[in-house]
């Protein structure tokens, strides 16, 4: 789910069923999208400053590509424009990072070699009256695909479908419908407030003392993944057996990714339904993973994804989700406010005032208090709406990440 302003985009995803010729046509459409994006990046690189390349200029250049290359002209015109928009999104992100003086690399646009999706806008496709089949009407030859899934696209008018995307994954092709709807649900107020401290020993610890177990999806399947990876290198390069081994390896990672997403979604939904205010740590995961001893465990926990779902359900239920800086929350005593320095190996907070708590429990209490102080002093209403722009491969502003798991 991508949120911006008052509107939001709901993604409904179906497994696509077709024949080998249709799958090959989809592959050709995906390669064409990659070709258009890369040509637009090259066009921007070769242009001078006086040319003033912007989104409109790249859109005009995509029309030139349609005239010069027959295989580009075979793709729907709006799909070609969407590919050019992907290029502009990478360029504009680079400009924004330069203007903000972002430290380190600024994300200079690079050519794409592993594109996995093709995106149509409001033309080039048509839904069957039963909404269980979709037909792509451009000259790529994709034709009619059967949609497998339980989501009811027929409950939404066709005009509300802003984009249709075909995504290739390890277990086949999927069709995503980006529906412009207002996702609101009336949930009764509970009067409860909660603070969350993220960790590796526990997925999170709340201010009530509850420890949510860390599922460690990657760690538990690591033995099987390494075994599947070794089988790849036992196969001869260029042979079909190596391709199948790589697909088995990719399927295992895909399964872990889906488990992690469903876990984050279910936990975030439970937290926001049970509490009117949720305060959590504003962790800089990008900096934390620089510690190579903890990087794998941090990525496996999926804190960033969990936080995104907290913000989404806060907006959906009309609750408040607020991020605060985690500085000294694990060192300060929640009872008297005294700083009690301790190393990471010390898991119990013991203060002279007699307060003895588990370290993460004490930190969660401090996080909740900081959040309430922030609201009281600045009148901050919480991050009900995420103002972060979607990253590349999410399309342009109103799109969502390619391959994003379906959100209710």
User: Which range marks the domain in which residue 67 is found?
Assistant: 2-181
Does 400 or 366 have the greater pLDDT score?
366
Together in a domain, 48 and 138: yes
CATH number at residue 348: 3.30.420
Mean pLDDT of 174-199: 88
DSSP for 38-69?
Answer: HHHHHHHHHS-GGG---HHHHHHHHHHHHHH-
pLDDT score recorded for residue 78? 94
pLDDT score recorded for residue 381? 57
- The answer on pLDDT for 404 being more than 80 is no
Together in a domain, 99 and 143: yes
Mean pLDDT of 203-223: 91
Q: What are phi and psi of 89, to 5 degrees?
A: -60, -40
Q: How far apart are CA 9 and CA 177, in angstroms?
A: 9
Together in a domain, 123 and 209: no
Together in a domain, 24 and 162: yes
Q: For the chain, percent helix, then strand, then coil, each to nearest 5?
A: 45, 20, 35
- The answer on pLDDT for 8 being more than 80 is no
Confidence tier at 268 by pLDDT (50, 70, 90): very high
Coil, strand, or helix at residue 195? strand
Does 1 or 168 have the greater pLDDT score?
168
Together in a domain, 19 and 45: yes
DSSP for 137-190?
Answer: -STT--EEEEEESS--GGGS-GGGEEEEEEEEETTEEEEEEEEEE---------
Confidence tier at 386 by pLDDT (50, 70, 90): very low
Confidence tier at 7 by pLDDT (50, 70, 90): low
Mean pLDDT of 235-264: 93
- For the chain, what's the residue count? 408
Together in a domain, 204 and 344: yes
Q: Quote the mean pLDDT of the chain.
A: 85
Q: Is residue 226 part of a domain?
A: no
Residues ≥6 apart with Cβ < 8 Å to 129: none
pLDDT score recorded for residue 167? 96
Total count of domains within the chain: 2
pLDDT digits (tens, 9 = 90+) for 302-361: 889 999 999 999 988 889 999 988 888 888 888 887 787 888 878 888 888 878 888 888
Q: How far apart are CA 340 and CA 78, in angstroms?
A: 60
Together in a domain, 201 and 94: no
Together in a domain, 144 and 207: no
Together in a domain, 175 and 285: no
Q: Which two tokens stand for residue 211?
A: 């420890």
Q: Which two tokens stand for residue 45?
A: 């690189």
Q: Which residues of 209-226 are buried (b: 16+ CB within 10 A; e: fewer)?
A: eebbebbebbeebeeeee
pLDDT score recorded for residue 388? 41
Together in a domain, 208 and 132: no
pTM for the complete prediction? Answer: 0.82
pLDDT digits (tens, 9 = 90+) for 53-89: 899 999 999 999 999 999 999 999 999 999 999 999 9
Together in a domain, 318 and 372: yes
Together in a domain, 53 and 25: yes
């Amino acid at each position: 789910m991508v949120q911006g302003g008052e509107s939001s985009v709901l993604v409904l995803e179906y497994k696509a069923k077709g024949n080998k010729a249709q799958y090959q046509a989809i592959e050709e459409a995906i390669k064409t999208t990659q070709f258009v994006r890369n040509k637009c990046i090259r066009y921007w690189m070769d242009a001078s400053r006086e040319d003033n390349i912007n989104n409109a200029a790249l859109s005009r250049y995509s029309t030139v590509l349609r005239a010069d290359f027959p295989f580009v002209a075979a793709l729907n015109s709006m799909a070609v424009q969407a590919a050019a928009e992907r290029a502009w999104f990478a360029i504009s992100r680079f400009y924004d990072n330069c203007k903000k003086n972002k430290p380190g690399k600024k994300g200079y646009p690079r050519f794409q070699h592993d594109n996995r999706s093709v995106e149509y806008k409001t033309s080039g496709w048509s839904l069957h009256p039963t909404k269980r089949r979709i037909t792509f009407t451009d000259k790529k030859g994709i034709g009619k695909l059967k949609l497998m899934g339980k989501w009811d696209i027929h409950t939404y008018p066709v005009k509300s479908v802003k984009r249709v995307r075909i995504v290739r994954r390890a277990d086949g092709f999927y069709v995503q419908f980006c529906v412009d709807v207002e996702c609101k649900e009336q949930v009764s107020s509970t009067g409860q407030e909660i603070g969350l401290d993220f960790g590796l020993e526990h997925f999170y610890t709340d201010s009530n003392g509850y420890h949510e177990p860390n599922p460690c999806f990657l760690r538990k399947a690591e033995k099987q993944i390494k075994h599947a990876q070794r089988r790849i290198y036992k196969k001869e390069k260029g042979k079909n057996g190596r391709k199948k081994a790589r697909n088995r390896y990719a399927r295992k990672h895909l399964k872990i990714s889906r488990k992690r997403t469903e876990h984050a979604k279910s936990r975030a939904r439970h937290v926001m339904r049970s509490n009117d205010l949720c305060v959590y740590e504003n962790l800089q995961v990008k900096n934390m993973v620089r510690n190579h001893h903890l990087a794998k465990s941090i990525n496996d926990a999926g804190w960033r994804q969990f936080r995104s779902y907290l913000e989404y359900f806060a907006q959906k239920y009309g609750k408040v989700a607020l991020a605060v800086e985690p500085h000294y929350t694990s060192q300060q005593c929640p009872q008297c406010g005294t700083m009690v320095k301790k190393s990471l190996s010390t898991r119990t907070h013991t203060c002279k005032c007699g307060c003895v708590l588990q370290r993460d429990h004490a930190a969660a209490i401090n996080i909740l208090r900081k959040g309430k102080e922030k609201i009281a002093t600045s009148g901050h209403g919480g991050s009900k709406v995420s103002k972060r722009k979607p990253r590349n491969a999410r399309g342009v502003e109103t799109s969502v990440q390619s391959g994003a798991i379906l959100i209710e």
